[in-house]
Amino acid sequence: MKIILVEDDEPASAALSVALRKQNYSVEAAADGETALELATMLECDLILLDLVIPKLDGISLCRKLREQGYQKPILLLTAKDSPQDIVTGLDAGADDYVVKPYNLPELMARIRALLRRGTAPVTETLTWLELCLNPVSGEVTWSGQSLGVTATEYKLLELFLRNPQRVFSRSAIIDRLWSFDDSPTENAVTVHIKDLRQKFKAIGIDKDPIETVYGLGYRLKPATEPNPETPETETTPKQKTPNPGKKLQAIASIAQILEKYRPRLNEQIALLRQAYNALAEGKLTNELQQLAIQEAHKLAGSLGPFGYLEGSNLARKIEYLLMSPTPLGSAETYQLEQLTRSLAEELTKPPTESSLEIPAPAKARTLLVVDSDRAIATALKSQAAQLGMGIESALTLTAARQAIARTTPDLILLDIACPETSTSPGEKAGLRWLQEVAHQFPTLPILVFTALDNLADRVAVSRCGGRGFLLKPASSEQILKAIAQVLPPKATPEAKVLIVDDDPAALAVMKELLQPWGLEVTTLDNPEKFWKILTTVAPHLLILDLEMPKFNGIDLCQVVRQDPNWGDLPILVVTAHTDAQSLRQVFAVGADDFIGKPIVGPELVTRITSRIERDRFRQQLEALKHKTKEQQP
């Protein structure tokens, strides 16, 4: 579990960091309030330990700012001011608890554990998976009472998986949770730690690995119970995953929670618009109030669409345009502004529609067709093929294999070229003719030959007939799966880092909720002045910029990115309500790759982002291929 420690006293910070790490917490230290705010925005932590008297941004102001931005993690104050008024001020600012300096270390640790009990499992509760037990109090990991002897990093890895049993963690996400910026390792280090843990499982006789490798995504905790294996048949079709309606309902509920959190802010924005038309009716509308009303209407137009209020977004856009009129506003405009504001307020009393929400269906499992007269081959592979996200289909003859391909084209074929045409035909090399037939019909379908026939003539024949690989019998399931992984094309996935810059926290919150189910690691930023530091820290694969922001707008940020040689190729999408020809020309002139019009609709947002990421990856692959071809030329 990660803690952000905000303390400007370097010796005190160092001592407390050591004490926290001894309790198996990962610590990220900040010496001032502004740095702490950036860390809290960028990192996924579990608790903030905050000293009140810190430079640049004091603890009370930092606490208030975090809560205004919708930050929900526990905040524990460290304060030398123990007067009732100071404590009340800190709690009213959004802190969850406080400890008075000089503090007693055991008491501080107990208060931290108490606050962390908000999570899915209390921090002091023993975490279990079958016979595996992790005791957060003693820091011991056992299997059936036998100590596993894990290192501190291995302990934190196991705790991360056990506390988040349904979540897949990419290697970069694991690094963010377990290491600080100063000592972050490479992603290969995560692979090494996972491998070391698995070796320790095997060393004490654990035959069931708790950690599952999710192909193309990362790692997660395996389910503690598995379905009963199916009875082997001549031909077995894997069960296909079906979309889970509960997933969509859960996402809708999450967005509804975000909406309720920002409902007071929406009401304040409506109240400001009412104030503007009242002032206009009385002839007292100042330029300052008018500009403020334009800004709030613009924010409403951007945030209401993703919440499911498309009509509300359109009404807010009309209000924005009305207030931006170059001609003086008269009685007709006053009446129109009043009616639009009333309609907008009424719209927000209605339940949101679900049309702006789309949740990805589970990816279809890949299928391996095993063409071999020995049914034990497919049976042995079935229990381990899940590591590659695959289902197994078996054919004992070439005729049965043709029928299987006619039903559904597999993603890969494992073929014994000695497999007979029918169950009554002799074991001649009909498999080579069948290989050539299938390779001609499906030129992109990988076929791995798995046979006991080992001579140069057979290897050359397999290559000429279209085989992609040659594997000798006998071989273990692990060896077969390794050979399969080498010839199986990588599974397309939209997983990437996305940085969204928008001055409206509500719009950021709902866009993040919409994008995360698609495997995207989303970082949000509502202060454009911090853009460059966050950009270089996060290193996103795609950047989303709101066009209209204070101080530095989307045009400004797009230009500075394109002017830097390290970031010149970064895909940039601009979010804008101004889709007229002139505005779009300006957007593309500064180097944007695409735009998303407001009001934002969930499916369009996801489609634009994932398609742009895939196109950029394809472009990079083409450039790498051209470069490799050029190097090979004499």
What does the pLDDT read at residue 234?
Answer: 33
Under the banding of pLDDT at 50, 70 and 90, the label for residue 242 is very low
Q: What is the value of pTM for the model shown?
A: 0.40
Report d(CA 185, CA 179) in Å as an integer: 8
What percent of the chain is predicted at pLDDT more than 90? 8
In this predicted structure, the answer to whether residue 384 has a pLDDT above a threshold of 90 is no
Cα–Cα distance between 170 and 474 in angstroms, integer? 35
Predicted confidence at residue 587, as pLDDT, reads: 80
577: exposed, middle or buried (Cβ count in 10 Å: 0-12, 13-18, 19+): buried
* 47: helix, strand or coil: strand
State both tokens at 381. 């592979």
Encode pLDDT of 403-419 as tens digits. Answer: 888 787 888 899 998 88
pLDDT tens figures, 596-629: 777 766 666 776 777 677 666 656 665 665 566 5
pLDDT of 460 above 50: yes
For the domain made up of 250-347, give the CATH fold. Four Helix Bundle (Hemerythrin (Met), subunit A) (1.20.120)
CA distance 475 to 377: 10
Query: What pLDDT does 12 receive?
Result: 86
What are the C-alpha distances in Å from 322 to residues 52, 181, 334, 589? Answer: 45, 48, 10, 28
Average pLDDT score over residue span 390-397: 87
Helices (H) and strands (E) in the chain, counts: 22, 21
Domain locations in the chain? 2-116, 127-221, 250-347, 366-487, 497-623
| CATH architecture for segment(s) 497-623 | 3-Layer(aba) Sandwich (3.40)
Query: Which class would CATH give 2-116?
Result: alpha beta
Instruction: Give residue-wise pLDDT tens across range 425-434.
Output: 665 568 888 8
What's the whole-number mean pLDDT along residues 287-302? 87
Same fold: 2-116 with 497-623: yes
Question: CA angle at residue 80 from 79 to 81, to 5 degrees?
Answer: 90
Average pLDDT (317-336) is 86
Mean pLDDT over residues 431-443, rounded?
Answer: 83
Q: According to CATH, what is the number of the domain 366-487? A: 3.40.50.2300
Domain spanning 127-221: CATH 3.40.50.720: no
Most confident range (mean pLDDT) of 86-95, 132-141, 462-471, 524-533 is 524-533
Q: Which helix (H) or strand (E) holds 363?
A: none
Write out the H or E segment, with its range, that includes residue 500: strand 497-501
Distance, in Å, from the CA atom of 133 to the CA atom of 574, rounded to the nearest integer, reads 49
